[in-house]
């Protein structure tokens, strides 16, 4: 079926599964161990109930917001994900084209299958990107990459991923016998080719720490830093202590790909509200993992998130139908989010809050 007839994320995933190569499917689908966290990521949203208010004018409804001060058309953004060209030849540049059309933010993976220069080459005016870093144990390699990223004016911030000091055990990938390398196109000799069948995560530095690594990063970029992979209120609190440099955090368990039975982001949001609510005023709090419906987006925003990331859905969209598939993915989620807001009696994102949700079931989990 043409992507325009697809109605939801499940249908996009289903078509992508039919079209993608076995290797691409395994890489995109896989998660750690028994995939409990991957499943909980979606289920946690379902256990939150919405509290719609009625008799409120919802003729107007806008998803516009800012992420780290950058104007965007919606709080939904594309999370960094490696190897988009495995799913479709247009790759990360195809995702960029779709995001440009929507005014949506895209975070480029350190392990993208195209260089950042290629990905931002056709950016439309005002289009915003972030760039995600996995620190290499040969720091000079990372320093060279950061120097390149510093020169690209479309890239407004740097995302340091912390939830993967070593790779989780992803059996779908292993079973294929063909583990995908997350090394980057930036340093592969082929330049823009995906680099398969090397040891996964070889070269990634597992020794990162709050003081050493943030100080090192400050020497190499003046871009604002976002820390990705925060999973407890304790780490959210520590991140906020560094808010002269760290301007945002992403509550994320890497789509369930790192530590199985790690908590879904909505649980961490609840913890933060209880133990360190002041953090929401010190850094922007974004989340990702298991977002498949507009109601999921709205629930995350009600709990205090400002940005909501999509990992697999854009990859499924790309595999299902190239640039049009990614556009369809973003359109469906934007439309669903607006419908949800209207049905709640809300016109703007800043009106969403705890009064719109009931988290009793979530708190029992
Ligand atoms: C990822 N993710 C990821 N994160 C990151 O910081 N750097 C990366 O290179 C990648 N690569 C990557 C590849 C694939 C195939 C997936 C599925 C995910 C994690 C990603 O940014 C995000 O945290 C999760 O994917 C969000 O969960 P959902 O939306 O996939 O459920």
Which residue's C-alpha comes closest to atom 19 of ligand 1? 254
Residues 109-154: pLDDT tens digits? 999 999 999 999 999 999 999 999 999 999 999 999 999 999 999 9
C-alpha span between 186 and 190 (Å, rounded): 9
pTM of the model: 0.96
State the DSSP string of 64-117: -EEETTEEES-SEEEPP-S-GGGT-TTHHHHHHHHHHHHT--EEEPTT-SS-HH
SS3 category, 27: helix
Please state the atom number of ligand 1 nearest to the C-alpha of residue 254. Answer: 23
Determine the pLDDT at residue 365.
85
Q: Tell me what the mean pLDDT of segment 37-59 comes to.
A: 98
Q: Which residues line ligand 1 (CB under 6 A)?
A: 27-28, 41, 79-82, 109-111, 132, 161, 182, 228, 252, 254-255, 257, 288-291, 310-312, 315
Contact of 247 with 225, CB cutoff 8 Å:
yes
Catalytic, out of 163, 173, 288, 296:
163
Sole residue written with tokens 């510093």:
150
Give the residue-averaged pLDDT of 269-298. Answer: 98
Structure tokens at 336: 């669903």
Does the annotation count 172 as an active-site position? no
144 alpha carbon, distance to own chain's centre: 24
Report d(CA 18, CA 25) in Å as an integer: 9
pLDDT score, position 196: 43
267 tagged catalytic: no
């Amino acid at each position: 079926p043409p992507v325009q007839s697809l109605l939801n994320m499940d249908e996009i995933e289903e078509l992508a599964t039919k079209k993608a190569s076995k290797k691409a499917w395994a890489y995109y689908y896989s998660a750690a161990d028994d995939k409990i966290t991957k499943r909980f990521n979606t289920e946690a949203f379902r256990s939150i109930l919405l509290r719609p208010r009625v008799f409120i004018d919802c003729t107007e409804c806008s998803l516009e917001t800012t992420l780290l001060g950058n104007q965007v058309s919606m709080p939904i953004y594309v999370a960094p994900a490696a190897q988009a060209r495995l799913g479709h030849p247009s790759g990360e540049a195809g995702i960029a084209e779709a995001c440009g059309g929507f005014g949506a933010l895209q975070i480029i993976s350190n392990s993208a299958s195209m260089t950042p220069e290629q990905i931002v080459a056709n950016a439309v005016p005002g289009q915003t990107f972030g760039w995600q870093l996995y620190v290499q144990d040969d720091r000079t390699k990372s320093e060279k990459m950061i120097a390149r990223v510093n020169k690209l004016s479309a890239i407004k911030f740097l995302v340091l991923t912390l939830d993967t000091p070593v790779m989780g055990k992803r059996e779908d990938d292993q079973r294929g016998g063909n583990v995908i390398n997350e090394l980057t196109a930036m340093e592969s000799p082929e330049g823009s080719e995906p680099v398969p069948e090397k040891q996964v995560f070889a070269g990634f530095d597992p020794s990162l720490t709050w003081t050493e690594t943030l100080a090192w990063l400050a020497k190499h970029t003046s871009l604002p830093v976002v820390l990705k992979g925060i999973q407890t209120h304790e780490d959210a609190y520590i991140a906020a202590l560094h808010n002269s440099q760290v301007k945002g955090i992403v509550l994320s368990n890497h789509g369930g790909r790192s530590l199985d039975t790690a908590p879904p982001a909505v649980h961490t949001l609840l913890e933060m509200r209880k133990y360190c609510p002041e953090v929401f005023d010190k850094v922007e709090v974004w989340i990702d993992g298991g977002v498949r419906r507009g109601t999921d987006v709205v629930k995350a925003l009600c709990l205090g998130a400002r940005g909501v990331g999509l990992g697999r859905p854009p990859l499924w969209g790309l595999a299902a139908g190239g640039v049009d598939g990614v556009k369809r993915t973003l359109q469906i989620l934007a439309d669903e989010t607006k419908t949800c807001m209207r049905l709640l009696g809300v016109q703007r994102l800043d009106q969403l809050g705890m009064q719109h949700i009931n988290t009793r079931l979530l708190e029992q989990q």
